Structure 1
Amino acid sequence: MTELQPVPLKHRPRIWIGLAIWVGYLVVVGVIQAVSGIPYDSWGDSAGNLFLGAGVSLIIASVLLVITTTLLGWWRPAMRERAHSRHRWPLFVPILAAIALVMNLAGTDWAAYSGAFFAASCVLLLVGFTEELVSRGILLTALRSRLGEGWVWFITSALFGLSHLMNVLLGAPLTGTVGQVLAAFLGGTIFYILRRTTGTLIWSMVLHGLWDFSVFAAGVGHAGDITAIGNVVYLTAGILGLLSVVFVIRGANERGEPRSPLA
């Protein structure tokens, strides 16, 4: 198995840096969405609501994350594994999740979409880039500087799930949000497995972005019954992910990378 050699980084990864960026991301996105004055449950009412309520914050966060990652010099460890997981078969878990998102799209009431609304909803694809780069990119790199891979998986997935509690501050109901937190933890496990088995964060970004888009799309108009099946398939994939994640954690040698002597 080919393993990438460590390369010097501008700034040595530290846990507090990853946590600070994770918190900073939530603050930036939360403040921008709150200032928009559009409640969370009203984003789907119009193209304008969706773009101002969610799109603007994602665009700004994407730019800030690109700048931050570049200044840290963490692009390589954030985006790539030194070596793939020894076990590739857990890849079936994200494949199941991909099947679930296809079911969502198949059951979407596309006739209920206007051109403007579809264009605004495409901005949601940025969720895959921003949340993956923060959680399973920057934060993961920081945690690997000190912790074993099992803790890296658990903490990145747990914080990813807990980050969805912010929706309560934007007007989302608490009971539904708690379920979203648990589902996000399972989703985080799916995306972690996809990173470890493919060796890159890119596919996790793609799957994450398309999944969130498919969930939102299925909520427009009158969705077909297949979307309910898709949700069950996705949750099943997450549970199977919990049972198989140990196989992609085992033998991981991703801890830390040297700092540049010029830093």
Structure 2
Amino acid sequence: MSVPTSAVKVRPRVWIGLAIWLSYAVVVFVVQQLSGVPYTEFGRDGGTLFLGAGLSLIVGAALLAITTSLLGWWRPALFDRAHSVRWPIFVPAIMVVALLINLAATDWGSYDAAFFGASLVLLLVGFTEEMATRGLLLVGLRSRLHEGWVWFLSSALFALMHLTNAITGQELGLTLTQVGMAFLGGTVFYILRRTTGTLIWAMVLHGLWDFSTFAVGHGEPGPLAALGGTVNLIAGLLGLAVVAFVIRGAKERVTS
């Protein structure tokens, strides 16, 4: 099925999706730079976490909400007209297991009220990064490209956003590993969108995943900490193996 342009205010174009992706990445980078907190210090305490990460997410969320409203893209950004086959949902389910392992390995005793409050703001990353990539960018890409390219480009551009972490203090090698893991993670979130027919569950999982990764990295993590990352890697690799099944038969292009 296709979404008629009468359902949107501005007809989707690939360049509009790319412009939104780039603008979001630039805004987040600039706000984080102005905070003066290096990426490697984000999780030190509640103040650095809020200024380094939380503030940019609040600004990004507000701008994305305004942009989506002006374009009239809420529905195609959040909902597919038809979901794919359901069975590949086992891949994001494995990511949920990794998330729960992270939470089980977290040193909750190291938390104080400020760090917990700043951690809750991190949940906004589920809305911002998903709306920017597998939401608005995806809508733009779907205006002209085959769904296979939509998956690949939305996942690749999501991954490339993490390159800025090397500029803000993280080692290049670690950043490149993070970029690769982000591509796999983006594939998992894409599968969740296609199998459920909505971006909302991907937003929820994405937000909780980032919350769990900062949580397990705070204080003294338990012995299961490394296992969470391994299980997440398995989910991503399995996602690559089955993503073709959720791409097959997709007819989500916005028509004229």
**TM-score, normalization by structure 2:** 0.97
1:67-99 CA deviation, whole Å, 9 max, x = no partner?
0000000001000000010x2110000000001
1:189 is matched with 187
Q: Give secondary structure in 1 for the equivalent of 2:154.
A: helix
Gaps of 5+ in 2: none
The amino acid of 2:210's aligned partner reads D
1:244 is matched with 242
Check conservation: 1:100, 1:234, Cα contact below 8 A.
yes
1:198-255 CA deviation, whole Å, 9 max, x = no partner?
0000000000000011001000011112121111111000000000000000000101
Among all aligned residue pairs of Structure 1 and Structure 2, give the percentage whose two residues are the same amino acid: 63
Check conservation: 1:194, 1:203, Cα contact below 8 A.
yes
1:65-80 equivalences under 5 Å are 65-80=64-79
Gaps of 5+ in 1: 259-263
2:129 is matched with 131
Aligned counterpart for 1:157 among listed residues 147, 151, 155: 155
**CA separation in 2, counterparts of 1:193 and 1:99?**
16
Aligned counterpart for 2:105 among listed residues 99, 104, 107: 107
**CA separation in 2, counterparts of 1:147 and 1:61?**
27
**CA separation in 1, counterparts of 2:230 and 2:139?**
32
Q: CA RMSD in A?
A: 1.1
**CA separation in 1, counterparts of 2:121 and 2:33?**
18
The amino acid of 2:115's aligned partner reads F
Moved over 6 A (4+): none
**CA separation in 2, counterparts of 1:63 and 1:132?**
14
Determine whether 1:94 maps to 2:70: no
Q: Give secondary structure in 2 for the equivalent of 1:44.
A: coil
**CA separation in 1, counterparts of 2:62 and 2:34?**
19
Check conservation: 2:77, 2:199, Cα contact below 8 A.
yes
Q: CA deviation at 1:5?
A: 6.2
The amino acid of 1:232's aligned partner reads T
Check conservation: 1:194, 1:204, Cα contact below 8 A.
yes
2:143 is matched with 145
Check conservation: 1:96, 1:237, Cα contact below 8 A.
yes
1:35-82 CA deviation, whole Å, 9 max, x = no partner?
111111111122111111111110011000000000000001000000
The amino acid of 1:29's aligned partner reads V
Check conservation: 1:189, 1:245, Cα contact below 8 A.
yes
**CA separation in 2, counterparts of 1:201 and 1:31?**
27
**CA separation in 1, counterparts of 2:96 and 2:249?**
26
1:1-263 equivalences under 5 Å are 6=4, 8-85=7-84, 87-258=85-256
1:261 is matched with none
